[in-house]
Structure 1
Amino acid sequence: MIGGFIIKRKFTVLSVTGSSCALNCFYCSTKYISSMESALTPDEMYKKIIELYNNGVKGFLISGGFNEKGELPIRNYIHIMKKVKKEMGVVFNIHPGILDKETIEDLKDVVDMVDYEFPYSIGAFKSKGVKREREDYIKTLENLIDFGPKYVVPHIMLGIPSDTDEEIENSLKILSSYKPYLINFLILIPTPNTPSRILKPMNVEKALRFIELGSKLMKGHVSVGCMRPYQIKEQLDREVIKRGLVERIANPHHKVIKEFNLKLFDACCSLPEKYLEDFKYETNN
C-alpha cells in the first residue's frame, strides 16, 4: 500500500526556538521554521499541547532552529514531553539535528519517531555551516539506531547544487547499512527571499534515479517528504507510484491522489504503521 500524508487537524508542528536559528542554510534562511507554532518554554509547550489536544490534535512534531553545532535545544523539554505522553498518550515526532547519547537515551521512551536530517554529503554538510565534524552525523545516527526511539527516519536532501552524484549515492549506502525504519527523500525548493531563489528545480529523472537507488537499498522502505518543488511535484509523485518506488508520500499532488485513489492519513509521513488507524484523514476536516 502507498499512503499519502497530509497534516490537517490531527497532527501539528511546534518550534522550541520560534523563528530563531543560528544556522543560515541558503535554502531556508529561517523561512520554514517561521511558519511553525512556537513553544519557547517548557511551560508554554505544556499549555499549548493541552490546548491543541483538546481540539483534536493527537500528534506533535517537535522542531525548530539549530544552534551553531547543529543541535535542537530539546533537553529542557523532555520532562514535559514525558508528562504529556503519560497523561494523554500523544504521538511525538522530533526533528533534532545532532544529539548526544544521553539525550538520545532520554528520548527513547517518549518519542515515537525521529526525523533525522542527514547532511553527510560534502555539499549538504557545507550548506549547513555547522561548527563540528561531518562524522558527527554518523555518530548520532549510530546512537539513534542503537539507543534511541524505535522508529528512526533519516532525511536526505536532493538538489543541492554543489553535491555530486557519487556523494549522494554514498550517503544512501551509509544510511541503508544501518537499516532504519524508512529513508525520506526531500528535494530542494528554490525559495523566494533566500539565496536558493536563483536555482532551477531538480530534474525529475535525476531525482528518480536517487529514489530508485534508495528504494533498492531499503527494499522499498522509502518515502517522499513534504519538501519538493511544485513544478515537478505532479510528475514526480506519479512516477514514484507507477514505478513502485515508495511506501509513502507527504502532501501528494491532488491529481495523483485521485488517479491512484491514495489512502490518506493526517500525520507526518514517518508515522509508524501501528498508529495509522488513529490518523486516518477525514475529508470533512
Structure 2
Amino acid sequence: MVNEAMNDTMQTKDAFLKKFNRSKKFYAYYPYPKFPSVSITGKACAMNCKHCGRQYLKHMVSCPSPEELYRKCLGFDKKGFKGVLISGGYNSNGWVPLESFVDVLARIKCETNLAINVHCGLVPEELACDLGKAGIDVISFDLIGADESIKEVIGIEKRVEDYERSLDALVTSVSSVVPHITIGLHGGKLLGEERALEIASSKTISALVFLVLVPAAGTAFEKALPPVAEEVGKLISAARLKRPDIPIMLGCMRPRLLEYEISALNAGVDGIVMPRQETLKGAKSLGLIVQSVEGCCAIPLSFGG
C-alpha cells in the first residue's frame, strides 16, 4: 500500500501545480521543542469526550493559574521559543475556561516575542471578544458538522448551529481563526465532515487544518478503526478546490502512517506536521520547495521557520 501511495506522487509537476493553482512552497512543521502545548486546567476536564478521554492533557505543560502561565511563558521566551499553544480541558459548557487568563495572555503578548495560539472550544461571544482584545495571534477552533457527533462523541447538548455561531464570534473578534476538522471523529466513521467543510469554507478564515481520528489507548475509541487515507485525501482535495486562497494543513493528530501523508500531499495540502522523509521526497518530486517551520501549523508563517 505504501509503494502504491508513493507511485501516486508521480504526477507531472506542471499538472499538479496547475490543478490546485497553488504556490510551490510546501511547509514541514515541527512544534517540538520550540512551540510547547500548555493546559490551563492541568489534567482536569469536565467532559470525557470519546476520542480524547482526557488523555491528551497528560502530555501538556500544566499551568493551572495565570501566575504560573506567565512564569512559564517568560521562561519559554528567554529560551528562544517561537510560541505556545494555550489549551486545556473543557468546562461543562464545552469551552476551555479562559476567562481568568485573558489579562495574562495580553501581558504575555506585550512582554514576549511568543506567538500565541489559543485552542478555545465552544466559547461564548463575550469571551471571543475578550480574546481578540488580548491580541492573541490565532484561534484554533474544533469545528464539528454533525449533531450526532456533538452529542455522542463530545457528550454535550449542543448543535452544529452552536459551533457555527461560536466560529462567527471568533472570526469577528480575532484577527486569525483556523478551524480544525477531525476526519473520522465519530469512531472512525465519516459523519458531518462535508458539512463542517462547507461552513468553514464560507467564513473569513486564515487557514484550515485537517486532523484524523487516532484510536488512543485509554479512550472509548481505542479499538476503533481510523478512516482510510483515500477518504482523507478526498476531503482535503475538496477543501483545496473550494478555498485555493488559504493554507490547508494536515495537523499533528493523525495516525503516523505514510499513506495518510502521501494522500494529503497529492490532494494539494500546503503543509504537514512532522512529515516523514518519504513525504518530503514526494513533495520535491512534484516540484515543491520544502520549507521547515519551528512551530504550530495554525500560526501565521510570519512567525518564522
Q: Which residue of 1 aligns with 2:155?
A: 129
> Please, what is the CA RMSD of the aligned residues?
1.8
Distance 2:77 2:265 in 1: 34
Distance 1:105 1:161 in 2: 31
1:179 aligns with 2:179: no
Distance 2:48 2:146 in 1: 18
Deviation (angstroms), 1:161: 4.0
Could you tell me whether the CA contact under 8 Å between 2:230 and 2:263 is conserved in 1?
Answer: no
Letter in 2 for 1:22: A
Could you tell me whether the CA contact under 8 Å between 1:124 and 1:163 is conserved in 2?
Answer: no
Unaligned residue ranges in structure 2 (runs of 5+): 1-24, 285-289
Structure 1, 113-122 or 69-78: larger mean CA deviation: 113-122
Alignment of 1:90-109 (within 5 A): 90-109=114-133
Deviation (angstroms), 1:163: 8.1
Q: Which residue of 1 aligns with 2:92?
A: 68
Distance 1:130 1:142 in 2: 20
1:246 to 269, 280, 290: 269
Deviation (angstroms), 1:221: 3.0
Distance 1:201 1:84 in 2: 38
Distance 1:258 1:21 in 2: 41
Three-state SS of the structure 1 residue aligned to 2:222 is helix
Three-state SS of the structure 2 residue aligned to 1:185 is strand
- TM-score, normalised to structure 2, is 0.84
Deviation (angstroms), 1:10: 2.2
Distance 1:61 1:160 in 2: 22
Distance 2:191 2:214 in 1: 22
Deviation (angstroms), 1:57: 1.6
Deviation (angstroms), 1:113: 0.6
Distance 1:80 1:160 in 2: 33
1:11 aligns with 2:39: no
1:266 to 276, 282, 294: 294
Deviation (angstroms), 1:192: 1.4
Could you tell me whether the CA contact under 8 Å between 1:28 and 1:194 is conserved in 2?
Answer: yes
Change (3 A) 1:74 1:80: same
Deviation (angstroms), 1:44: 0.8
Deviation (angstroms), 1:236: 1.9
Could you tell me whether the CA contact under 8 Å between 2:184 and 2:191 is conserved in 1?
Answer: no
1:138 aligns with 2:164: yes
Could you tell me whether the CA contact under 8 Å between 2:261 and 2:275 is conserved in 1?
Answer: yes
1:30 aligns with 2:58: no
Deviation (angstroms), 1:24: 0.8
Distance 2:214 2:222 in 1: 8
Distance 1:118 1:170 in 2: 10
Letter in 2 for 1:20: A
Change (3 A) 1:143 1:253: same
Could you tell me whether the CA contact under 8 Å between 2:183 and 2:190 is conserved in 1?
Answer: no
Q: How many residues align?
A: 273
Per-residue CA deviations over 1:195-248 (Å, capped at 9, x if unaligned) read: 211112211111111111111111163111111112xx31121232234x1112
Change (3 A) 1:123 1:188: farther
Three-state SS of the structure 1 residue aligned to 2:149 is helix
